[in-house]
Amino acid sequence: MINVKIYFRKFGLFGVIMTAFVYAVLTGCAPPPATDGEISAIEKARLDSIAKVEDRRCKIWLSTGFEYYKNGDFVGSVRNYNNMVDGGCAENYGDKLWIYLGNSYRELDNADSAMWAFEKGLSQAPDNIPLHENVAFLFQMEGDNNKVIERYETIASLDPANIERWRKLHDLYFRNAFYEKDLNILQKIVEMDPGDIMAKNDMVTVIKLMGGDATELLEQRVKDNPDNTEFLLEYANAIFETGDYEKAVGLYEQVTAAEPKHMLALDRIASSYKNLDRPKDALKALKTILKIRGDDKNLLYDIAEIYKIGGQIKTAYSWANKTIAAKPKDGRGYYIRGLVLEEAANFCQNEREAKVASIFDKLVYELALDDLNVSARLGYGEAKSRIEYLTLLAPNKSDLFMHPDKFAPEGDCYKWIKRKVKRK
């Protein structure tokens, strides 16, 4: 018996029919009826032949569409890809079809049709990450940040082992001020990659933006990176801001041990010692800065002020004169010198048994008042609040009547003051 399946493949349907017809004429009888199996084989062969033709056509549309897309002819690519849709090619070629069709529409500024194509693709393949990314990009073009974030949340959940998915989500949360969610994502990133220093830095930033205390994280970061001076400095700054100056000094001194000319650390050491009421140590730090940065005349103010705080009035007065000589148009120097003179008058008055202001004490207060008036005229605001008080301590009309010839302070306590009161 003829193998119908093989014969069909060789000669086709028409060949089978003609063979049967010739056989009938020559033999004068009809061929035996085909079995059910033979009929099924013939039908399957026919359908396979049609499928091959259709598949070849789908491949031609896909290839032609891509050529159009590659050459920037998006109208042509849309036409070919839609032919694929109408021709039933989506089932076998959807992974390429929907992305390129959507992107072609997007290039033609047809966002609605692009979204339709991407969503059609996702209905066929819900876990297709490139399709989700293209949808996110459309939302980004529309400025809908919430939908962009929702889409990337989906992407991260589909590819949880890929740390870059979480880093992208962190970036979106941070830029949109979703700090609580961002902190959770950053913790996940650090769990996945304990060596991710940038993520740890961002955790510190996020906690600060949330108004939280990041000192524990900063401390741990220093422990993890003991040679990183920047991390140590940031931790020291955080401790300084809490008011724990004793601990801050120790941390800043570790910074200067690594970088002896670190200006911020030296300045914070001086400030910490000043706040701890340790003027000698504060002066030591300031003078170290002055040796390194001798042209910084602002340091003179700080040094003069520290000497005043430390009770070294004569030295403070000398440094105040240096500040005025260095920056004569800056009211701060006059302000500091005025406060030094006020302090001197208070000290000398209290040294006497009677503790009553003499004409010489009042003259020193008047010199201090003169300095503060100059300071105020030069625009130093703090001077104004002190002027009224010193006016009450300076010589009054009665004092001037009783001592018309007194213009300079006298006595051992004031012999270092070489100034006279100038009156009209």
158 located within any domain:
no
Return the exposure string of 153-178: e unless at least 16 CB atoms fall within 10 Å of the residue's CB, then b. Answer: bbbbeeeeeebebbbbbbebbbeeeb
Residue 22: both structure tokens together: 């010739």
Question: What's the confidence (pLDDT) of residue 41?
Answer: 55
Question: What's the confidence (pLDDT) of residue 417?
Answer: 92
418 located within any domain:
yes
- Residue 267 reports pLDDT greater than 50: yes
Q: Per residue in 100-129, pLDDT tens?
A: 999 999 999 999 999 999 999 999 999 999
Q: Per residue in 343-387, pLDDT tens?
A: 899 988 888 877 788 999 999 999 999 999 999 999 998 889 889
- C-beta contacts of 229-237 below 8 A and 24+ residues apart: 229/255, 229/258, 229/259, 229/262, 232/258, 233/262, 233/264, 233/265, 234/204, 236/265, 236/268, 237/268
Q: Per residue in 154-179, pLDDT tens?
A: 999 999 999 999 999 999 999 999 99
Report the C-alpha gap between 203 and 242 in whole angstroms: 19
The values of phi and psi at residue 311, to 5°, are 80, 5
340 located within any domain:
yes
| Average pLDDT for 390-417 | 89
8 located within any domain:
no
| Domain extent for 424 | 325-424
Question: What's the confidence (pLDDT) of residue 37?
Answer: 59
Give how many domains the chain has, as a whole number. Answer: 1
Count helices and strands in the chain by DSSP H and E runs? 21, 0
Neighbour count for residue 397 (Cβ, 10 Å)? 7
118 located within any domain:
no
362 located within any domain:
yes
State the DSSP H helix or E strand holding residue 174, giving kind and residue range, or none if neither. Answer: helix 163-175
Question: What's the confidence (pLDDT) of residue 87?
Answer: 87
281 located within any domain:
no
Q: Per residue in 174-189, pLDDT tens?
A: 999 999 999 999 989 9
296 located within any domain:
no
Question: What's the confidence (pLDDT) of residue 47?
Answer: 46
